[in-house]
């Protein structure tokens, strides 16, 4: 704003001087020409001089009036500009103080070495006494380790019985109970805000089954139960709306047959067809089908009818998300080519299929778990690396056009400690929720997977902000930040500031 006002004054100011000079110059030339013409004029010389004197006076008057007008205009712009600047900086300051608590940097200290006495005897029997974990991430994944227990505490966030002191506080990593007192089952999920019901809906994988390996070398898995839906007005207390898309228990040829894979369901609303459309990753036990599935419903709480699965653009598709833009166009973003790159393609107008237009990006970067959001006309995305259920380093990416080119900004994680930041706080991205009342603030939704007991995987919800001071050299090019900084702040306990719902 300051530079805009300054710039406009500068422009106006620069007009004043040339205008005066130009008039004076023109006058001089007119006078010269008139005098010169006078000798050749058919009018007597005295008349020409009188005319000249009169026109000179009115021109001078005109010039001074114009100059006064420009000065007045300039003054007006300056004062209203300053006023506007004052208002906007006051609004900015209020906004900053509201979001400041979200951006507090919290450090974490913890003992990496597990107390051997605390090792779970069952796991030691299963894995052998000498199967020592090697890194903090190994410790984290090892159910017999004390480090594992630290990240999967038994304490719960309970919106009903938690009491006033815990109201609205998120505790990333704790068991999160729904309003019936049961652990929320909505992994790899996403949130839809439904304008009609003015309610948030959280859809995710229901993993409430036994964890097992289909093959000795296969990933830990749970049979498909289906997609759960929870509703909330405040993004904190969630009511279970049931399983809105069920797994198939009998028909072995069905995509949703229990031994297959259904992951990362996301739902968007189609304004033209008035349908809620769900897209999800559909796979076989060994992750070789690599497809997307589509389901549809008339209501946000289902039931959803499963339509079909396909390989979009004839390409492999594993981790995926969908994104609905402000203009109603929607997109599918998916990991492809053996997870080595991401693809993006627009959906058809009814959101039930992809169009033919597709772009590859982040080629050879091996990214998955894409979570897309938009702020002030710029598209942002958080992705993870590809390390099965193990946490790894998140990256933020940005683009001015959703179809690309996409640029990588760096690791958005702030706070905790090195190992927290390099493991996305021991979690993996799944979705970013916009907060209408807090410009530039979002909720980063991630999963803290527990591969030894997938149903007990936890949720890591943290504040994400766009803007603020870039704190890494990589954010600069010739001392100018290229993109606003995307930051995800670690908090052991935090809540949304008042006013986050105002639009």
Binders of ligand DGJ: how many residues, by CB under 6 A?
10
Shortest spacing between CB 309 and ligand DGJ, in angstroms: 16
Find all residues with CB under 8 Å of 121, minimum gap 6, and list them: none
Shortest spacing between CB 188 and ligand DGJ, in angstroms: 5
Contact (Cβ atoms closer than 8 angstroms) between residue 229 and residue 301:
yes
H-helix segments, 340-461: 418-422
Q: Which is nearer to ligand DGJ, 188 or 470 (CB)?
A: 188
Shortest spacing between CB 248 and ligand DGJ, in angstroms: 20
Q: Which is nearer to ligand DGJ, 168 or 389 (CB)?
A: 389
Binding mask 201-240 for ligand DGJ (x = CB under 6 A): ------------------x---------------------
Restricting to residues 299-328, name those near ligand DGJ by CB under 6 A: 319
Shortest spacing between CB 379 and ligand DGJ, in angstroms: 21
Among 114, 159, 172, 188, binds ligand DGJ (CB under 6 A): 188
Restricting to residues 416-475, name those near ligand DGJ by CB under 6 A: 428
Give kind and range of the element (H or E) at residue 379: strand 378-385
Query: Which one, of 445, 468, 444, 471, lies nearest residue 458 by Cα?
Result: 445
What is the 8-class DSSP label of residue 7? Answer: H
Q: Which is nearer to ligand DGJ, 348 or 388 (CB)?
A: 388
The residue with tokens 């001074």 is: 64
**Cα angle value 364/365/371 (rounded, 5°):** 130
Q: Which two tokens mark 96?
A: 């900053």
Q: Which is nearer to ligand DGJ, 142 or 368 (CB)?
A: 368
Q: Which two tokens mark 489?
A: 């702040």
Buried b (16+ CB within 10 A) or exposed e, 284-309: ebebebbbbbbbbbeebbbbbebeeb
Q: Which is nearer to ligand DGJ, 171 or 367 (CB)?
A: 367
H-helix segments, 162-202: none
Burial of 216 (C-beta count, 10 Å sphere; 0-12/13-18/19+)? exposed
263 touching ligand DGJ, by CB under 6 A: yes
Shortest spacing between CB 315 and ligand DGJ, in angstroms: 17
Burial of 327 (C-beta count, 10 Å sphere; 0-12/13-18/19+)? exposed
Q: Which is nearer to ligand DGJ, 255 or 368 (CB)?
A: 368
Q: Which is nearer to ligand DGJ, 240 or 285 (CB)?
A: 285
Shortest spacing between CB 264 and ligand DGJ, in angstroms: 6
Shortest spacing between CB 215 and ligand DGJ, in angstroms: 13
Among 82, 388, 400, 417, binds ligand DGJ (CB under 6 A): 388
Q: Which is nearer to ligand DGJ, 114 or 188 (CB)?
A: 188
368 touching ligand DGJ, by CB under 6 A: yes
Give kind and range of the element (H or E) at residue 68: helix 45-100
Q: Which is nearer to ligand DGJ, 158 or 220 (CB)?
A: 220
H-helix segments, 101-236: 121-127, 136-141, 146-151
Shortest spacing between CB 174 and ligand DGJ, in angstroms: 21
Q: How many CB atoms lie within 10 A of CB 495?
A: 16
Contact (Cβ atoms closer than 8 angstroms) between residue 260 and residue 285:
yes
Does a cis peptide bond (omega within 30 degrees of 0) precede residue 69? no
146 touching ligand DGJ, by CB under 6 A: no
286 touching ligand DGJ, by CB under 6 A: no
369 touching ligand DGJ, by CB under 6 A: yes
Q: Which two tokens mark 245?
A: 């898309």
Restricting to residues 81-120, name those near ligand DGJ by CB under 6 A: none
Restricting to residues 4-23, name those near ligand DGJ by CB under 6 A: none
Contact (Cβ atoms closer than 8 angstroms) between residue 402 and residue 352:
no
Q: Which is nearer to ligand DGJ, 145 or 383 (CB)?
A: 383
Query: Which one, of 426, 442, 437, lies nearest residue 381 by Cα?
Result: 442
Shortest spacing between CB 445 and ligand DGJ, in angstroms: 13
Shortest spacing between CB 298 and ligand DGJ, in angstroms: 28
Q: Which is nearer to ligand DGJ, 223 or 263 (CB)?
A: 263
Buried b (16+ CB within 10 A) or exposed e, 21-59: eebeeeeeebeeebeeebeeeeeeeeebeeeeeeeeeee
Shortest spacing between CB 83 and ligand DGJ, in angstroms: 51
Q: Which is nearer to ligand DGJ, 264 or 458 (CB)?
A: 264
Query: Which one, of 70, 81, 90, 91, lies nearest residue 3 by Cα?
Result: 81
Query: Which one, of 180, 187, 222, 225, lies nearest residue 203 by Cα?
Result: 187
Shortest spacing between CB 101 and ligand DGJ, in angstroms: 31
Q: Which is nearer to ligand DGJ, 386 or 438 (CB)?
A: 386
Shortest spacing between CB 186 and ligand DGJ, in angstroms: 13
Contact footprint for ligand DGJ (CB under 6 A): 188, 219, 263-264, 319, 368-369, 388-389, 428
């Amino acid at each position: 704003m300051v530079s805009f006002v300054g710039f406009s004054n500068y422009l106006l100011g620069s007009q004043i001087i040339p205008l005066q000079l130009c008039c004076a110059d023109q006058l001089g030339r007119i006078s010269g020409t008139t005098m010169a013409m006078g000798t050749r004029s058919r009018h007597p010389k005295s008349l020409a001089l009188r005319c000249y004197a009169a026109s000179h006076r009115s021109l001078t008057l005109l010039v001074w009036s114009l100059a006064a007008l420009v000065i007045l205009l300039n003054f007006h712009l300056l004062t209203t500009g300053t006023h506007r600047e004052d208002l906007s900086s006051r609004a900015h300051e209020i906004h900053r103080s509201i979001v400041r608590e979200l951006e507090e940097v919290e450090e974490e200290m913890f003992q990496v070495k597990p107390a051997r006495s605390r090792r779970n005897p069952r796991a030691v029997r299963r894995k052998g006494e000498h199967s020592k974990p090697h890194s903090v991430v190994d410790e984290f994944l090892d159910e017999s380790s004390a480090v594992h227990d630290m990240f999967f505490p038994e304490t719960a966030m309970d919106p009903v019985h938690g009491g006033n002191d815990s109201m609205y506080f998120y505790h990333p990593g704790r068991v999160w109970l729904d309003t019936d007192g049961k652990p929320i089952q909505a992994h790899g999920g996403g949130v839809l805000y439904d304008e009609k019901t003015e309610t948030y809906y959280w859809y995710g994988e229901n993993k409430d089954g036994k964890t097992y390996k289909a093959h000795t070398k296969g990933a830990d898995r749970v049979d498909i139960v289906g997609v759960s839906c929870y509703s909330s007005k405040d993004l904190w207390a969630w009511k279970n709306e049931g399983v809105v898309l069920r797994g198939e228990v009998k028909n072995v040829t069905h995509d949703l047959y229990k031994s297959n894979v259904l992951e990362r369901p996301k739902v968007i609303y189609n304004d033209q067809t008035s349908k809620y459309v769900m897209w999800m990753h559909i796979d076989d036990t060994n992750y070789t089908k690599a497809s997307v599935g589509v389901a549809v419903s008339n209501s946000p709480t289902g039931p959803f009818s499963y339509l079909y699965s396909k390989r979009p653009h004839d390409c492999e598709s594993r981790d995926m998300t969908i994104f609905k833009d402000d203009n109603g166009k929607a997109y599918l973003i998916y990991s492809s080519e053996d997870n080595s790159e991401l693809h993006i393609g627009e959906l058809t107008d009814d959101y039930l299929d992809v169009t033919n237009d597709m772009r590859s990006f982040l080629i050879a970067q091996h990214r998955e778990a894409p979570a897309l959001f938009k702020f002030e006309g710029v598209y942002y995305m958080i992705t993870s690396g590809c390390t099965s259920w193990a946490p790894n380093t998140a990256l933020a990416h940005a683009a001015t056009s959703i179809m690309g080119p996409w640029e990588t900004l760096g690791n958005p994680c702030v706070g905790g400690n090195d190992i927290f930041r390099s493991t996305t706080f021991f979690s993996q991205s799944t979705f970013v929720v916009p907060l209408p009342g807090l410009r530039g603030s979002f909720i980063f939704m991630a999963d803290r997977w527990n591969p030894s007991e997938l149903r007990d995987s936890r949720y890591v919800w943290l504040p994400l902000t766009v803007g603020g001071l870039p704190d890494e050299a990589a954010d600069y090019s010739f001392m100018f930040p290229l993109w606003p900084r995307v930051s995800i702040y670690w908090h052991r306990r935090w809540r949304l500031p008042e006013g986050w719902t105002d639009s």
